[in-house]
Structure 1
Amino acid sequence: MKKLFLLICCSFLNYAHATQDCRATSLYWASDFNKFIQQDEFIVYYTDRPNSKNYIQNQTDLNNNHIPDYVENILIQAIAARDAYTLARLRPPLESPRYKNKTGSIAIFVKDIPGNGVAFEEPSRFTNVAAGKMPCSLIIYISNKFPVFPGNYFAVVSHELFHLYQYSYAQFKNSWYLESLAKWAEQSLRLSPKIISNENWLYPITEFEWENQVFSKSYNNLFRYLFLKNKNDMLVFPESFTQRRYIDGSLVFKDKYWPGGKAIVRLLDDLQKQSNHISKLNHWDKYNWEEKNQRLVDWNAIIKSSILNNIKADDLQDHYP
């Protein structure tokens, strides 16, 4: 793992500002964020002000460097997930045609939010961040309320980061596709699961099951099942990955295998082509569909077809090795 260079407190960030099409706003809560750590393209913002509702509840600091382990582990996980996705030959969001000339960083705010995490697709910067001038960034929020991090939520950063990959490839935001594939991307850092008996309905899939078990459920197990059944698609992590650890010494990569890690790139490449084609037909900006158009049920059939074409039925095996 690369040496972790941490920039702390009120220093100014060194990233060049990409100003084209970057939304600059001043949000009342951003002034709470007076600390950050940074490595590569990732900047993790947090506050050390105990009276702020964005204050991290778990302030454990095992390495005594005056940075909560919670924050350092978020950065460690972001880098690990990025490296796993790169090994799978996925194009990093910041290198995509959509974002390449707009932003050079990914900002992760550890803050008070209703859920576990959320990722935003538009490059933005907050003009009133107390830690210093914030560069134009793709933005992720991660909850400050987990009892521990990573703990039981150890894959939330990889999940939200993968959404940025999805946004960089295609405009489709149908929740059954967006969330279920990001849920599967988490498996790059989790123990590889096994098929369970009640998933047998998922292949072959009837039209009724597509409507009632896939399209209607954001966190369905479609990709879990299809990728586990594909015996020939097993991405193997090198030792340099599997030896990585969080601050408490626990493993970052819980397994050396990532089932389905090769199929994801084929699927996203195809969805990008489909998205660009629809943009051309409708005379839409191919990187900025209206939100309502991103979520049209009309795209269900297109995404389904792409899945079936890129995760071949002939490749599927009866048993996971």
Structure 2
Amino acid sequence: MTKPWWVTALQVGALLLLSAVWSLAPTMAEQVVASPPVGTCHLLSREPPLVSVATSQTLVPQVEAIGDGVYFFVDAVHQRDIDLVRREDIERQLAAADVLYQEVLHLTPPLEMPRYQQADFVMVILRTDQTRGGQAYDEVVRNPSVPECHIRMALGGQVDAAHNLTPAHELFHLYQNAHMMFKQAWLHEGLARWSESLFRGGGQPAPALPADSDALEAVMQSSYAAAAFWQRLFYLLDAQGDVAVPETLINQRYLNGRSIVALDRIYGAAFMPQLFSALHQAGVAVSHREQWPVYGWAEAEQRSLRHNPAILSALHTAVSAYLPDASQPDELQAFMQLIAPLME
């Protein structure tokens, strides 16, 4: 059985003596499009030296995640400025999120996806010069102080994970980046904001899906607010919201005793891998049409709204495969008819 990533982190962390990484794995997408190792491991030669922050031995006992681990790093000049209590809570939230995304949403961890075959781990950089916020990066990189290839995210070193879901949000972005090239805000940020409801609990069915082109355009021009669109769609696909959440995950706590996962029900959890797979395949189709490397899109193209028809096509394909037309509620059928003429 694969070792928990926090155990592996202890072993490898002793060798690296540098910051944070965690793991992820592929979905059905890679079964559809098999590919050899791809991409380039970019050298960040101008980055300041990083040093590791040791991982905790008490992290999420009895819960296992697939992959090589999460390693925490900090700029060498700021290594004494890390609040170890907050770092511990960040670590616990990330561990729980990784398990939740894999075992409840059935998503493949990033490091097991073709895009990141050259990456050895996930690095979490704690930025002590900022108190909150975070950013997930999408390239495989290395630097003189960390020569192993990795993917990474950065978090404010003072993020209070017991009251802030930025770590889990950014980890979800790494899952997205591994599966798809699309970064349109309504998809990228909307879905990541929706993922936060897995920790807060109490996810509501949300307002009705767009019923006309103006309402649909408003969603596709939005960002975090698009979480309501995804929540409603998932509710219509799975109104029961029954999921099996590992008991060990439900029992996890922050250092102050607060539950990490306040989960009562999740709508459409079984639909998520189908959606990610369809979006992956849509991205591959765009790459072939445009004659781009599958994982080598310019950043502007990843965010360009001109690819919304491809996203709508993937959405239509995933919904149709998951819930045939005859079984769809009227509201969902009307939405599918609305987007059909707009698909690529």
Same fold judged by TM-score > 0.5? yes
Residue in 2 aligned with 1:225? Answer: 232
Q: 1:114 to 1:206 in 2, by over 3 A?
A: farther
Residue in 2 aligned with 1:127? Answer: 144
1:127 Cα shift? 1.7
Residue in 1 aligned with 2:163? Answer: 152
Rounded to whole Å, the distance in 1 between the matches of 2:266 and 2:306 is 31
1:182 Cα shift? 1.0
1:267 aligns with 2:275: yes
Q: 1:294 to 1:183 in 2, by over 3 A?
A: same
1:269-296 deviation per Cα after TM superposition (whole angstroms, max 9, x unaligned): 0011111111111211001111122122
Q: 1:215 to 1:204 in 2, by over 3 A?
A: closer
1:168 Cα shift? 1.2
1:177 Cα shift? 0.7
1:210 aligns with 2:219: no
Superposed counterparts of 1:192-203, under 5 Å = 192-195=202-205, 199-200=206-207, 202-203=208-209
1:84 aligns with 2:105: no
Rounded to whole Å, the distance in 2 between the matches of 1:125 and 1:264 is 31
User: Given residue 21 of structure 1, which amino acid in structure 2 is its aligned partner?
Assistant: T
Residue in 2 aligned with 1:280? Answer: 288
1:297 aligns with 2:310: no
1:180 aligns with 2:190: yes
1:57-76 deviation per Cα after TM superposition (whole angstroms, max 9, x unaligned): xx3xxxxxxxx121122222
Match of 1:55 among 81, 92, 112: 81
User: Given residue 13 of structure 1, which amino acid in structure 2 is its aligned partner?
Assistant: L
> Do the aligned residues in 1 keep the contact of 2:169 with 2:192 (CA within 8 Å)?
yes
DSSP-derived class of the 1:245 partner: coil
> Do the aligned residues in 2 keep the contact of 1:35 with 1:46 (CA within 8 Å)?
yes
1:54 Cα shift? 8.9
- Moved beyond 6 Å, runs of 4+: none
DSSP-derived class of the 2:96 partner: helix
Q: 1:159 to 1:317 in 2, by over 3 A?
A: farther
1:5-43 deviation per Cα after TM superposition (whole angstroms, max 9, x unaligned): 4749x942299xx99721122345x32645342784110
Residue in 2 aligned with 1:169? Answer: 179
1:117 Cα shift? 0.8
Percent of counterpart pairs with the same letter? Answer: 24
Rounded to whole Å, the distance in 2 between the matches of 1:81 and 1:276 is 28
> Do the aligned residues in 1 keep the contact of 2:122 with 2:151 (CA within 8 Å)?
yes
Rounded to whole Å, the distance in 2 between the matches of 1:74 and 1:97 is 27
Rounded to whole Å, the distance in 2 between the matches of 1:97 and 1:3 is 20
> Do the aligned residues in 1 keep the contact of 2:283 with 2:294 (CA within 8 Å)?
yes
Q: 1:156 to 1:134 in 2, by over 3 A?
A: farther
Residue in 2 aligned with 1:12? Answer: 15
Q: Which runs of 5+ in 1 are unaligned?
A: 60-67
Structure having the higher helix fraction is 2
User: Given residue 206 of structure 1, which amino acid in structure 2 is its aligned partner?
Assistant: D
1:82 Cα shift? 1.3
DSSP-derived class of the 1:278 partner: helix
Match of 1:257 among 246, 256, 265: 265
Q: Which runs of 5+ in 2 are unaligned?
A: 22-36, 60-67, 332-344
User: Given residue 37 of structure 1, which amino acid in structure 2 is its aligned partner?
Assistant: T
| TM-score when normalising by structure 1 | 0.79
